[in-house]
Amino acid sequence: MRRCEYTSRTSVRGLYKIGAAFAIPHGWNADSWHHYQVTTATTPKGERRRRALVAAAAELLLEGGFDAVRHRSVATRADLPLASTTYYFESLDDLIARAVEFTGSAELDLMRVRVGDVSHRRRGAESTVDLVVDLLVGEVGDAPAREQLIVRYERFVASARHPELRDVQLRLRAQLDDLLAEVLRRSGRMVRQEQLRRLVAIVDGAVVGALSEVDPDPRKIARGALLEVIDIVAPAVNR
């Protein structure tokens, strides 16, 4: 059995709980996080409530997709009055956008921990592909991976229809590209920005196709597709 090089087993759901402790999300400075907040949420109590609502909406998004995120369901999950969802957010779309950012940031934080565990050494095609697929799709035996993937690709589609989500998704995508590039560099692979998009597009297409099957195995499908092109899109660095 292949030994997984990502040693951390922190879950995305676990990172939601960390987020619920009200830390500023990774990659945000204080001014950026302040954009999350309206004037009525500048008190410590207001900030706690707003962040609790965002964390609750993010959990619901993971569990049931966009249809699960409604004012009442979010308030119930956060154990807050229903009116708080309209008091701290301009609209349901605003709340959903914040939940999308929270969800994506939780995924990226988990990925950062995993990438930090990857050693620097030259890797062949199969070992490199395994690392990339573990990062983008999930590790072998990662039970929640399918639902997380569905939510991720729902975000992609939703961002095409809703401008308020598009900027969020672009920020998340840029951070994902950086993490992927780091995995390739640590594997002795050439990193070319124009090819990163191609690599991710191959994985995205394979995963979306696999998720629509009766007995989906997105990891297997993505791995097979990537093996055919990894030495083209990310060739080994000659030494």
153 and 227, same domain (yes or no) = yes
Residue 128 lies in a domain: yes
Band (81; pLDDT cuts 50, 70, 90): very high
Where is the domain boundary, 94, 117, 140? 117
Based on the fold, state whether residues 109 and 128 are members of the same structural domain: no
Say how many domains are in the chain.
2
Q: What is the pLDDT of residue 80?
A: 93
Same domain, 133 and 222: yes
Same domain, 112 and 124: no
My answer on whether 87 and 182 are in the same domain is: no
Question: Are 141 and 235 part of one and the same domain?
Answer: yes
2 falls within a domain = no
The pairs formed by 67-71 with CB atoms below 8 angstroms and a separation of 24 or more are: 69/95, 69/96, 69/99, 71/95
Output the pLDDT for position 37.
Answer: 42
* Residues 85, 81: Cα–Cα separation, whole Å: 8
Q: Is residue 4 part of a domain?
A: no
Average pLDDT, the chain: 81
Residue 1 lies in a domain: no
Indicate the pLDDT class of residue 143, thresholds 50, 70 and 90. Answer: low
Token pair listed for 15: 């990172």
74-99 average pLDDT score = 92
Region 220-232 average pLDDT:
93
Domain boundary among 83, 117, 151: 117
Where residue 160 falls among pLDDT bands split at 50, 70, 90? confident
Residue 5 is assigned to a structural domain of this protein = no
List pLDDT tens digits, range 9-18.
Answer: 444 444 444 3
Which residues span the domain enclosing 76?
Answer: 10-117
pLDDT class of 142 with cuts at 50, 70, 90: low
Would you say the pTM of this structure is higher than 0.85?
A: no
| Bridge partners of residue 189, in order along the sequence | 236
d(Cα 166, Cα 117) in Å, to the nearest integer? Answer: 31
What is the pLDDT confidence band of residue 151, given thresholds at 50, 70 and 90? Answer: confident
Classify residue 221: in a domain, yes or no: yes
Mark whether 24 and 134 lie in a shared domain. no
Burial class (CB in 10 A: 0-12, 13-18, 19+), 203: buried
Q: Is residue 220 part of a domain?
A: yes
> Among 13, 21, 71, which residue's Cα sits nearest to residue 51?
21
Q: How many CA atoms lie within 13 A of 184 on its CB side?
A: 24
- Shared domain for 165 and 214, answered yes or no, is yes
- Which residues, at least 6 apart from 129, have a Cβ–Cβ distance to it below 8 Å? 223, 226, 227, 230
Range scoring the smallest mean pLDDT among 42-51, 81-90, 127-136, 191-200: 42-51
Block residue for tokens 């369901």? 73
Q: Within this chain, do residues 239 and 146 fall inside the same structural domain, yes or no?
A: yes
Predicted pLDDT of residue 140: 63
Whether residue 128 sits in one domain with residue 113: no
Q: Tokens standing for 180?
A: 């992927």
More confidently predicted of 133 and 63:
133
Q: Is the dihedral of CA 79, 82, 87, 93 positive or negative?
A: positive
Joined tokens for residue 127: 């070992």
Q: Examine the fold and report which residue of 90, 117, 144 is the final residue of a domain before the chain moves on.
A: 117
pLDDT confidence bin for 5, thresholds 50/70/90? low
Q: Are residues 190 and 100 in the same domain?
A: no
Question: How far apart (Å, rounded) are the C-alpha atoms in residues 95 and 50?
Answer: 10
Q: Is residue 3 part of a domain?
A: no
In this structure, the answer to whether residues 20 and 103 fall within a common structural domain is yes
Query: pLDDT, tens digit, for every residue of 179-220?
Result: 999 999 999 999 888 889 899 999 999 999 888 887 778 888
